[in-house]
């Protein structure tokens, strides 16, 4: 048997900047660049209590939060994620071109910026 499961490509995250907010005790501002090779898809996840802003630097990205419909974002478009949102889908819409996001977080200082999210997990 030589049939090996092909692993789908995933995203890579490059930290850019992190700094505690000077006038908001206990909160940190963080920015990262997220790169998606062609056909790459992130696993479902959450960002805890962070407020998240995502801006498409290049390519086309499909995204779905909670029970909302899937949306497609192109270069120059953006979205935000409220604290506790379940990011069910994030993927490069192209099978031939990479995509890149600038993602900004305002989070609780010291908390992880990304955690695994289960499709069954619901905030209530």
Compute the distance between CA of residue 85 and CA of residue 67 in angstroms, rounded to an integer.
10
Cα–Cα distance measured from residue 36 to residue 62, given in angstroms and rounded to the nearest whole number: 11
pLDDT band of residue 5 (cuts 50, 70, 90) is: low
pLDDT (average), residues 26-33: 98
DSSP secondary structure code for residue 69 in this structure: P
Residue 4 to residue 7: CA distance in whole angstroms: 9
Q: What is the mean pLDDT of residues 86-92?
A: 96
Q: Topology of 12-113 in CATH?
A: Jelly Rolls (2.60.120)
Query: How does residue 17 score in pLDDT terms, banded at 50, 70 and 90?
Result: very high
Name which residue leads in pLDDT, 70 or 122.
70
Q: What is the pLDDT of residue 9?
A: 81
Residue ranges per structural domain of the chain: 12-113
**For the whole prediction, is pTM greater than 0.75?**
yes
Tens-digit pLDDT profile for residues 66-85: 999 999 999 999 999 999 99
């Amino acid at each position: 048997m030589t049939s090996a499961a092909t692993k789908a490509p995933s995203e890579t995250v490059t930290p850019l900047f992190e700094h505690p907010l000077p006038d908001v005790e206990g909160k940190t501002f963080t920015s990262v660049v997220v790169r998606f090779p062609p056909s790459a898809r992130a696993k479902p996840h959450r960002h805890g209590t962070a407020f998240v802003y995502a801006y498409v630097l290049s390519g086309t990205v499909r995204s779905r939060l909670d029970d909302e419909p899937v949306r497609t974002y192109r270069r120059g478009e953006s979205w935000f994620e409220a604290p506790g949102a379940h990011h069910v889908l994030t993927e490069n819409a192209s099978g031939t071109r990479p995509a890149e996001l600038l993602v900004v977080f305002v989070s609780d200082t010291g908390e992880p910026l990304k955690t695994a999210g289960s499709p069954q997990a619901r905030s209530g």
